[in-house]
Amino acid sequence: MTTLLWICALLVVIAAGAYLRFSLLTTTIAAAVICAAASYFHVGSPLPFAIFVILALPFNIKSFRRQFISKPFLNIYKSIMPEMSSTEKEAIEAGTTWWEADLFSGAPSWKKLHNIPVARLTNEEQAFLDGPVEEVCGMLNEHQVSHELADLPQEVWQYLKDNGFFAMIIKKKFGGLEYSAYAQSRVLQKLAGVSSELASTVGVPNSLGPGELLQHYGTPEQQDHYLPRLAKGLEVPCFALTSPEAGSDAGSIPDFGVVCKGQWQGEEVLGMKLTWNKRYITLAPVATVLGLAFKLRDPEYLLGEQEELGITCALIPTDVEGVIIGRRHFPLNCMFQNGPTQGDEVFVPIDFIIGGKEMAGQGWRMLVECLSVGRGITLPSNAAGGIKTAAVATGAYARIRRQFKLPIGKLEGIEEPMARIGGNAYLMDGVNSLTTTGIDLGEKPSVISAIVKYHLTDRMQKCVIDAMDIHGGKGICLGPNNYLGRGYQAAPIAITVEGANILTRSMIIYGQGAIRCHPYVLPEMEAAFNPNPKESLRKFDNAVFGHIGFAISNFARSFWLGLTGARFSNAPYSDKTKKYYQQMNRFSANLALLSDLAMGTLGGELKRKERVSARLGDLLSQMYLVSGVLKRYNDEGRLTEDLPLVQWACEDALHKLQTSLDELLDNFPMGLGPILRFIIFPFGRPVTKPSDVLDHKVAKIMQTPCASRDRLAKGQYLTPTQYNIAGIQEQTFIDLIACEPIHKRICEVAGERIPFMWLDKVAEKGIELDCINTEEVELMKRAELGRLKSINVDDFDPEELTAMVKSANQANYAA
Ligand SMILES: Cc1cc2nc3c(=O)[nH]c(=O)nc-3n(C[C@H](O)[C@H](O)[C@H](O)COP(=O)(O)OP(=O)(O)OC[C@H]3O[C@@H](n4cnc5c(N)ncnc54)[C@H](O)[C@@H]3O)c2cc1C
C-alpha cells in the first residue's frame, strides 16, 4: 500500500509539473526528490532513485538526446511528411498570429487579453462618421436603389467619391483618408445598417482590391498614378479573381497571360497577351480599372529563366482595346454592381503588373497577405452593423406590434429568437472591435480573419432569419416601408464571398490555425526541412521535446480541469464572468490536447478529414468570440446592466463549442473518443444553453429604452429621416412607451379596457373625460401615425412591379 502511495506521489509531482508547465529539468528534479525520499524512507535502498535517474537522464542530456532519440525521429518525420507546395507555404506563411495563438496554447493569459488597448476613433474619424456617413445614410432610399434604379443614384455615387468613401485605406500622402481598421469598421457598420448595397459598394474598394494591392506592392509610378485618382474617385476599381471554372479553388484559375513583345501606343514594348473569363466581379460593370489575376507564362524566357511564373496580378484600364466589361449579374435582387468580364489575347505592357515585372508570379502571396487583413474588416463589419440595427429595430417592432392584446415581444415564444438577435449583436460588435484593434496594432491575422468572416456572417444570416420570423408579413412584403427584406436577400452573398463559408470552416480556419497557432508544429516542419543538418537537428530536437512537454501538459490540464470543473483555475475577475474564463481555460487545454491527437493519429490525412478539422476549428473560433465579448465588457467598464447580454453571448458560444467538441469525440479517429470523453468530460457536459430567464432579460433590454439598448445600437443610423424607416420606427417606439401610462389613465377614468390601437381616437376620449392635456393628445396622435407606419406594409399598382422585369426581359431579347 505504501509503495502505491509513493508511486502516486511521483505521478502527482510529474502531473503538477506538467500542469504548471515547469521545464523538463525542474520537473525531473522534483520527481528525483520523491524517488530519493522513497529510496531512503520506504525501500531502504537506492534502487528506486537509480531506476529513475537511468530513465530520466537520456532526456535531460541534450547531446545524447539529440543523437539517439531526436535524430532517428527526424528521419522518420522527413520520410512521412510531404514537403509543402509553394501555394500552401504562401497561404500558411501569410499573416501573423495574435490572441488566437494564446487560445491554442492550453493556458491563455487573460491579462494579455485585457491589456490589448481599447479601440478608439480619432476626432477626424468621429467627424467623418457624424458628418458624411450620417449624411449619405440619409440620402439613400433603398427601395429606389433595389427596385427602381437597380443602382445607387448618381448623386449618391458622386457624394461617395467626393467625400473619400472609396479611399479609407489609402494613405494621406496620396490624398486618401488613411483611417484605422476600427474606423473603417464603424463606417461600414453604419452603412450596412441602412443598406447592404451601400455597404458593399463602399466596402469593396476598401478591401482586397487594387487600392490595397497598390499600397503594398505597387511601384512608385503606379502608386503616384493610381492612388490619388482612386482617392478622388476618378477611378472605380474592381478585382477579378473568380472564373467559371475556379471559385473556391481560386489557385486553379485557367486565365492566363503570355509574355511577349507587342505594339503599345505606336511602339514595340515588352508586354503580355492576356486571356480571361471572369465572373461575379463586384463593381466590374462600372469599373475604370480592372485588377486581374491570371497565370503568367514566359515561353520565350523574356523575363528570366522560368517558364511558368505562376499567379500574377495586373491593373488593366477598362478602356484598353479588347477588355469586355459592362454586363451585370443579378445577385439576389441586390443592386450593387456585379458582373462578368472577358478578354482574349489582350496585349498590355509588362509594367501593368502590380509591382512591375519583379512581382510576376507573386500574385498568390499578394492576395493571401491582403486577404488576411481585408477579410477581417469588411464582411464582419457589414454583418455586425446589419445585426446591430436589426436588433433595435426588432426590439422596437416587437414592442409596437400587438397580438393577443400584448406586444408580441412579451410572448415567450418570441423571446427566444429575440434573445438570439440581441446576444449576437453584442457579441458581433465586441468581436469586430477586438479584431480591428489587432489589425491596427499591425497584425495581419490570417486565422482570426477567417474565423470572423465565417462566424459573423453565419450568425448574421441566422439572426436575419430570426428577425424575419419575428416581423412576420411585415418583413416579407418588400417596398419603402420594409427595412429588413433586402438584408435577408443579401445575406447569402456574405456567406459566399471572400472564402465560401463551408470551405472556410472545413479547411481554412483550423487548416491554417493548427499550423500557425500551435507553438511547435510549424517550428518542427521548418526545422525538418532546414538545409543545414546540424541546425535542423538542434531545432527539431527543441521543437519535438517542447511538443511532447506541451502534449503532456495539456493532458494533465484537461484531466484536472475536467475533474474540478476548472473551478480553481485562473480568472481575472471573481464576478459573474469568472466561470466563462475558467471554462475557456478548460476548453483551451482540450483543444490543444485533441489537436495533437488528431494530428498524431491522422497526420497529413487530417487535411482531408474536413469534419474533424471543422470541429477543431469551432473550438478555436468560439473561444475567440467569447474573448471578444469579455474584452468588450471589460473595455466598457464592466457595466452590470449589460450582464444579460454578456452572459447570453458567452453561454451561447461556449455551448456551441461544447456541441462541436461532443461531436468530435463521437467521431474521433481510431476509436479514441470514449477514452478522451472520460478525460475531458468526466462528469458529463458542463455548459448549458442560455436559459429562458436569460433570454427574457435580453429580450427585455431590446424592448425597453435604456443605456444597454443604446450601447447595442451604438453608432448606427437611427435618425428619423424620410427614407430611414428603422429610424422613424425608433421614434414611434419611444412615443408609444410614453403613451402607455396615458392610455392606462384613460382606461381607468373610463372604467373600461380600451384596446391599445386607434390612439388618436383614444386621445379624443381622454379629452372628453378631461383626463389628458394637449401635449398628451399630440403625443398620442403622433404615436398612432407612427404605429400605423410601423405595422403597415406597401402595396403597388401592378405596373410598378412589372416595369423593371419587362424592361430587363426586353433588353435580354434584344441581345
Ligand atoms: C455577389 C458576389 C460578389 C463577388 N465578388 C467577387 C469579386 O469582386 N471578385 C472575385 O474575384 N470574386 C468575387 N466573387 C466570387 C466569390 O469569391 C466566389 O463565389 C466564391 O469564391 C465561391 O466560389 P463559387 O461561387 O464558384 O462556389 P464553389 O467554389 O463552386 O463552391 C460551392 C460550395 O462548395 C463549398 N466548397 C468548395 N470547396 C470546398 C472544400 N474544399 N471543402 C468544403 N466545401 C467546399 C463552398 O463552400 C460552397 O459552399 C463574388 C461572388 C458573388 C456571388
Q: Tens digit of pLDDT for each residue in 584-623?
A: 999 999 999 999 999 989 887 888 899 999 999 999 999 9
Residue 491 in contact with ligand 1 by CB distance below 6 A? no
Active site residue 125: no
* Residue entry with cell 469579455: 630
Q: Indicate which residue's Cα is closest to atom 36 of ligand 1.
A: 503
Q: Indicate which residue's Cα is closest to atom 16 of ligand 1.
A: 497
Residue 610 in contact with ligand 1 by CB distance below 6 A? yes
Q: Which residues are registered as beta bridge partners of 270?
A: 261
| 8 A C-beta contact, residue 694 and residue 651 | yes
**Which residues are CB-neighbours of 674 under 8 A, at least 6 positions away?**
none
**What pLDDT was estimated at residue 1?**
54
Residue 507 in contact with ligand 1 by CB distance below 6 A? yes
Q: Which atom number of ligand 1 is nearest to the Cα of residue 504?
A: 47
C-alpha cell at 442: 499591425
Q: Which residues are registered as beta bridge partners of 293?
A: 313
* Residue entry with cell 509539473: 17
Residue 497 in contact with ligand 1 by CB distance below 6 A? yes
With the most atoms of ligand 1 within 8 angstroms of its CB, the residue from 503, 505, 506 to mutate is 503
Residue 493 in contact with ligand 1 by CB distance below 6 A? yes
Handedness of CA 635, 190, 211, 204 (dihedral sign): positive
Q: Indicate which residue's Cα is closest to atom 44 of ligand 1.
A: 503
Q: Which residues are registered as beta bridge partners of 262?
A: 269
Distance 224 CA to ligand 1 centre (A): 33
With the most atoms of ligand 1 within 8 angstroms of its CB, the residue from 242, 290, 489 to mutate is 242
Distance 282 CA to ligand 1 centre (A): 13
Residue 280 in contact with ligand 1 by CB distance below 6 A? yes
Residue 338 in contact with ligand 1 by CB distance below 6 A? yes
Q: Which atom number of ligand 1 is nearest to the Cα of residue 244?
A: 26
**What pLDDT was estimated at residue 676?**
97
**What pLDDT was estimated at residue 210?**
87
Distance 513 CA to ligand 1 centre (A): 21
Pairwise CA distance, residues 383 & 254, whole Å:
32
Residue 201 in contact with ligand 1 by CB distance below 6 A? no
Residue 276 in contact with ligand 1 by CB distance below 6 A? no
Distance 497 CA to ligand 1 centre (A): 6
**What pLDDT was estimated at residue 813?**
44
Q: At what angle do helices 363-400 and 485-496 cross, to 10 degrees?
A: 160
Q: Indicate which residue's Cα is closest to atom 17 of ligand 1.
A: 497
Q: Indicate which residue's Cα is closest to atom 24 of ligand 1.
A: 247
Pairwise CA distance, residues 573 & 591, whole Å:
23
Distance 241 CA to ligand 1 centre (A): 11
| Phi, psi angle pair for 340, to nearest 5° | -90, 170
Distance 376 CA to ligand 1 centre (A): 17
Pairwise CA distance, residues 392 & 424, whole Å:
12
Distance 450 CA to ligand 1 centre (A): 14
Out of 197, 498, 524, 730, pick the active-site residue: 498
| 8 A C-beta contact, residue 615 and residue 591 | no
Pairwise CA distance, residues 752 & 581, whole Å:
53
**What pLDDT was estimated at residue 815?**
45
Q: Which residues are registered as beta bridge partners of 123?
A: none
Q: Which atom number of ligand 1 is nearest to the Cα of residue 241?
A: 11
* Interior angle at CA 213, CA 212 and CA 214, nearest 5: 95
Distance 25 CA to ligand 1 centre (A): 51
Pairwise CA distance, residues 240 & 278, whole Å:
6
Residue 282 in contact with ligand 1 by CB distance below 6 A? yes
Distance 310 CA to ligand 1 centre (A): 21
With the most atoms of ligand 1 within 8 angstroms of its CB, the residue from 248, 337, 378, 608 to mutate is 248
DSSP H helices, 94-240, are 99-103, 110-115, 123-128, 134-139, 142-143, 154-162, 181-194, 196-206, 210-217, 220-232
Residue 246 in contact with ligand 1 by CB distance below 6 A? no
Q: Indicate which residue's Cα is closest to atom 4 of ligand 1.
A: 280
Residue 377 in contact with ligand 1 by CB distance below 6 A? no
Number of H helices, E strands in the chain: 35, 9
With the most atoms of ligand 1 within 8 angstroms of its CB, the residue from 497, 504, 509 to mutate is 497
Element (H, E) at 637: none
264 Rama sector, left if φ>0, alpha if ψ -120 to 50, beta otherwise: beta
Write the burial class of residue 230 (CB in 10 Å: 0-12 exposed, 13-18 middle, 19+ buried): buried
- What 3-state DSSP class applies to 246? coil
With the most atoms of ligand 1 within 8 angstroms of its CB, the residue from 236, 280, 368 to mutate is 280
Write the burial class of residue 378 (CB in 10 Å: 0-12 exposed, 13-18 middle, 19+ buried): buried
Low pLDDT (below 70) residues in the chain: 1, 82-88, 91, 803-815
Distance 104 CA to ligand 1 centre (A): 29
Q: Indicate which residue's Cα is closest to atom 48 of ligand 1.
A: 500
Distance 329 CA to ligand 1 centre (A): 15
